[in-house]
Structure 1
Amino acid sequence: MATRDDERLRIKPGAPKRPDGSQSGQRTQRFVSQVLKQVSKAGAKASGARGAHFASTFGRGRVAAGLACNRLGADARRVVIKSRYVMLKKAGAQSVSTHLRYIERDGVTRDGERGQAYGPETDTADLKAFEERGKGDRHQFRFIVSVEDAGELEDLRGYTREFMRRMATDLETRLDWVAVDHWDTDNPHMHIVLRGRAANGQDLVIAPDYMAHGMRTRASELATEWLGPRSELEIRQGLLREVEEVRLTSLDRALLRHATLDRVDLTLQPNDRPRQTLLRARLQRLEAMELAGRIDANHWQLSPNMQQTLTTMGERGDILRTMHKALRGQQRECVLEMEPTRPVIGRIAAKGLADELNDRGYLVVDGIDGHAHYVRLPVGADLAALPVGGIVEMKSAGRERSVDRNIAGIVRDGLYRSVDHLVQLRQEGVADPQAGVDAHVRRLEALRRSGIVERMVDGVWRVPPDFLSRTQAHDAQRAADGIIELRSHLPIEQQVRAQGATWLDHQMVGDTRNLSPQGFGAEVRGALQDRRDFLVEQGLAKRRGSRVVLARNLLATLRDRELAEVGKVIQHQTGLLHRPLREGERANGIYRRSVQLASGRFAMLDDGMGFSLVPWKPVVEQRLGQQVSAIVRGASVTWELGRQRGR
Structure 2
Amino acid sequence: MATRKEMEGDRFRVRPAAPKSRAGPRPERFVSQVLKEVSKACAKASGKLAGRPASTFGRGRVAAGMAGGRLGAHARRVVIKARFVVLRKAGANSVSTHLRYIERDGVTRDGQRGQAYGPETDAADLKAFEERGRGDRHQFRFIVSAEDAVDLDDLRGFTRQLMQRMAVDLETPLDWVAVDHWDTDNPHTHVVLNGRTAGKEDLIIAPDYIARGMRMRASEIATEWLGPRTEIEIRQSLQREVEQQRLTGLDRALMRQAVADTVDLTGRPENRHRQNLLRARLQRLEAMAMAERVDVNRWRLAPDMVRTLTAMGEREEALDTMRRALKGQQRECVLEDASTTPVIGRIAGKGLTDELHDRGYLVVDGIDGRAHYLKLPPGADLLAFPVDGIVEAKTPGGERAVDRTIAAISQDGIYKTANHLDRLRQAAYRDPLATIDVHVRRLEALRRSGIVVRVADGVWRVPSDLAQKGQQHDTQKVTAPVIELRSHLPINQQVRAIGATWLDRQLIGNGDGLAAHGFGARVRDAMRGRQEFLVEQRLAERRGPHVVLSRNLLHTLRERELVAVGKALQDRTGQTYRPLGENGRASGIYRCSIQLVSGRFAVLDDGMGFTLVAWRPAVEVRLGQHVSAVAQGKSVTWHFDRRRDMAI
CA contact (8 A) 1:556 1:634 kept: no
My pick for the range that moved more, 92-101 or 530-539, is 530-539
My pick for the range that moved more, 173-182 or 230-239, is 173-182
String of CA shifts for 1:2-45, please: whole Å, max 9, x gaps.
Answer: xxxxxx9997999x9999xxxxxxxxxxxxxxxx9999899652
Cα distance, 1:358 vs structure 2: 0.3
Cα distance, 1:342 vs structure 2: 4.5
CA contact (8 A) 1:118 1:179 kept: yes
Q: For 1:602 and 1:153, how far apart are their aligned partners in 2? A: 48
**Map 1:178-577 → 2, pairs under 5 A:** 178-337=177-336, 342-397=341-396, 399-401=397-399, 403=401, 407=405, 411=409, 413=411, 414=415, 445=438, 448=441, 451-452=444-445, 465=462, 467-468=466-467, 471-472=470-471, 475=474, 479-510=478-509, 512-577=511-576
1:412–1:272 distance in 2 versus 1, CA, 3 Å: same
CA contact (8 A) 2:81 2:144 kept: yes
Q: For 1:464 and 1:527, how far apart are their aligned partners in 2? A: 50
| Aligned counterpart, 1:145 | 144
CA contact (8 A) 1:605 1:611 kept: yes
| Aligned counterpart, 1:626 | 625
| Aligned counterpart, 1:615 | 614
Q: Which residue identity is paired with 1:518?
A: H
1:179–1:43 distance in 2 versus 1, CA, 3 Å: farther
Q: Which residue identity is paired with 1:370?
A: G
CA contact (8 A) 1:411 1:463 kept: no
| Aligned counterpart, 2:594 | 595
Q: For 2:104 and 2:445, how far apart are their aligned partners in 1? A: 40
Q: For 1:533 and 1:119, how far apart are their aligned partners in 2? A: 54
Cα distance, 1:227 vs structure 2: 0.9
SS in 2 for 1:50: helix
Q: For 2:153 and 2:492, how far apart are their aligned partners in 1? A: 43
1:607–1:444 distance in 2 versus 1, CA, 3 Å: closer
Q: Which residue identity is paired with 2:113?
A: R
1:581–1:227 distance in 2 versus 1, CA, 3 Å: same
Cα RMSD (Å) of the superposition? 3.7
1:578 aligns with 2:577: yes
Cα distance, 1:512 vs structure 2: 3.9
My pick for the range that moved more, 313-322 or 203-212, is 203-212
Cα distance, 1:157 vs structure 2: 1.5
SS in 1 for 2:270: coil
CA contact (8 A) 2:407 2:462 kept: no
String of CA shifts for 1:550-572, please: whole Å, max 9, x gaps.
Answer: 22222111111111111111111
Q: For 1:50 and 1:409, how far apart are their aligned partners in 2? A: 68
1:446–1:352 distance in 2 versus 1, CA, 3 Å: farther
1:71–1:462 distance in 2 versus 1, CA, 3 Å: farther
Cα distance, 1:65 vs structure 2: 1.8
Cα distance, 1:286 vs structure 2: 1.6
| Aligned counterpart, 1:4 | none
CA contact (8 A) 1:556 1:635 kept: no
Cα distance, 1:214 vs structure 2: 1.2
CA contact (8 A) 1:49 1:66 kept: no
Q: For 2:338 and 2:375, how far apart are their aligned partners in 1? A: 6
Q: Which residue identity is paired with 1:465?
A: V
Q: For 1:259 and 1:59, how far apart are their aligned partners in 2? A: 35
CA contact (8 A) 2:325 2:348 kept: yes
> Percentage identity across aligned positions?
63
CA contact (8 A) 1:339 1:375 kept: no
Show structure 1 runs of 5+ residues with no match. 1-7, 20-35, 425-433, 455-460
SS in 1 for 2:169: helix
CA contact (8 A) 1:590 1:625 kept: yes
My pick for the range that moved more, 223-232 or 267-276, is 267-276
SS in 2 for 1:93: coil
String of CA shifts for 1:67-106, please: whole Å, max 9, x gaps.
Answer: 3365431100010101111111111111011001111112
Q: Which residue identity is paired with 1:344?
A: V
Q: For 2:223 and 2:233, how far apart are their aligned partners in 1? A: 13
My pick for the range that moved more, 635-644 or 373-382, is 635-644
Q: Which residue identity is paired with 2:591?
A: R
Cα distance, 1:370 vs structure 2: 2.1
Name the count of aligned residue pairs: 603
Q: Which residue identity is paired with 2:638?
A: W
| Aligned counterpart, 1:635 | 634
SS in 2 for 1:577: coil
CA contact (8 A) 2:107 2:113 kept: yes
**Map 1:28-107 → 2, pairs under 5 A:** 45-48=44-47, 50=49, 52-54=51-53, 56-68=55-67, 70-107=69-106
String of CA shifts for 1:474-533, please: whole Å, max 9, x gaps.
Answer: 745775423221111112222222211111222333374333333222332333333233
Q: Which residue identity is paired with 1:400?
A: G
| Aligned counterpart, 1:29 | none
String of CA shifts for 1:298-330, please: whole Å, max 9, x gaps.
Answer: 212222222222111111111111111111222
1:171–1:476 distance in 2 versus 1, CA, 3 Å: farther
Q: Which residue identity is paired with 1:311?
A: T
TM-score normalised by the chain length of structure 2: 0.84
Q: For 1:450 and 1:93, how far apart are their aligned partners in 2? A: 32
1:342–1:44 distance in 2 versus 1, CA, 3 Å: farther
SS in 1 for 2:483: strand
String of CA shifts for 1:359-383, please: whole Å, max 9, x gaps.
Answer: 0000011122222110000011111
| Aligned counterpart, 1:33 | none
CA contact (8 A) 2:119 2:177 kept: yes
Cα distance, 1:192 vs structure 2: 0.6
Q: Which residue identity is paired with 2:72?
A: G
Larger Rg: 2
Q: For 1:401 and 1:271, how far apart are their aligned partners in 2? A: 66
Q: For 1:447 and 1:195, how far apart are their aligned partners in 2? A: 47
SS in 2 for 1:271: helix
Q: For 1:37 and 1:610, how far apart are their aligned partners in 2? A: 69
Q: For 1:320 and 1:484, how far apart are their aligned partners in 2? A: 20
CA contact (8 A) 1:497 1:534 kept: yes
Q: For 2:379 and 2:74, how far apart are their aligned partners in 1? A: 41
